[in-house]
Amino acid sequence: MRNPVSPDPLPLVERIREDLLSLRHEYLKMLEASRLRCLEQDIAGNWKEVRCDDGQCTHTMEWAPDPPAGVVERMLLHSRVVELSRTHHSIYPTRMTEVLGLLGYYDGLSNHLNRNLARMSGGRGFPQDYTNEAFASLVKSLEYLPGEDVTTRLVLDTTSLMDNPDLARYKDTIGNAYLVHLVPEVLHEVDRLKDQGPPKKSELARKVDTRLKGYRDSADVRTGATVEGDISVVFDFREP
């Protein structure tokens, strides 16, 4: 997704749609630049690359090695796919059967997308079809988003929260009305650092936890607690 502290005049649905189309384009471009190779084992047990027909190949197939720049590109795309799933799961106020079905369908296909990116075995076979189906399910799920009651949403990572747990600190950048989403993996990481982190990080995590406890005690953070004025925070306890 885009930098969460950058001003963006587009409505939430359109911002997400743009991000989906952008990520889909970059993902398909990565697949087009990748190559599968056919391998055959000789009598001595050594594997060698052989030529074969794409439609008739019965050999073992694997991804051809990428240059370092290709590996970096795949790592960045993997981060975007993970962030997309995390953000997409956090934006629906309630989980209706239709939405759960679409998100569940995407989650299954996203495993295939990530296997392609990690170059894991089993991550092959009609990859473009899987990519198109996965992103189509997310685009379809946008139809179930209600009208916006906020113009800006932030999904904070652990580093941002640990650096400064003051959730109102973004108002000079994006305005005085926004909703902060704290997702499960961030909340779990703060707990882990509080209990098991090195002394300095453990102390920072305890300060963050104290600040978050104040929000939990003041309102139902599952639906939204006021931070300051028109700034609110939601704890997304649902796992993506």
Query: Domain ends where: 144, 161, 181?
Result: 144
Same domain, 133 and 174: no
Instruction: Assess whether 127 and 221 both reside in one domain.
Output: no
Tell which wins on pLDDT, 122 or 130.
130
Return the higher-pLDDT residue of 120 and 18.
Answer: 18
pLDDT, greater one: 106 or 54:
106
112 and 58 within one domain: yes
Would you say residue 67 has pLDDT above 60?
A: yes
Q: Please tell me whether residues 49 and 126 are part of one structural domain.
A: yes
- 37 shares its domain with 118: yes
pLDDT digits (tens, 9 = 90+) for 131-169: 788 888 888 887 777 655 555 777 888 888 888 888 888
Most trustworthy range by pLDDT among 99-103, 107-111, 210-214: 210-214
Which of residues 144, 178, 209 is at a domain's end? 144
The number of domains in the chain is 2
The fraction of the chain above a pLDDT of 70, given in percent, is 76
124 and 179, same domain (yes or no): no
CB of 205 within 8 A of CB of 162? yes
**Of 121, 144, 167, which residue is a domain's last?**
144
Indicate if 104 and 216 belong to the same structural domain. Answer: no
Q: Which residues contact 81 (CB under 8 A, 6 or more apart)?
A: 23, 27, 110, 113, 114, 117
- Output the six-digit token pair for 208: 């963050």
Q: How many helices (H) and strands (E) does the chain have?
A: 8, 7
Same domain as 137, residue 22: yes
Domain that holds residue 179: 153-235
Residues 195 and 229 grouped into a single domain:
yes
| Closest C-alpha to 205, from 178, 220, 187, 218 | 187
Considering the domain boundaries, does residue 165 fall inside one? yes
Q: Are residues 24 and 132 in the same domain?
A: yes
Give the contacts of 70 (CB within 8 A, at least 6 positions apart): 30, 33, 34
129 and 181 together in one domain: no
Give residue-wise pLDDT tens across range 20-52: 888 888 888 888 888 777 777 777 777 776 676
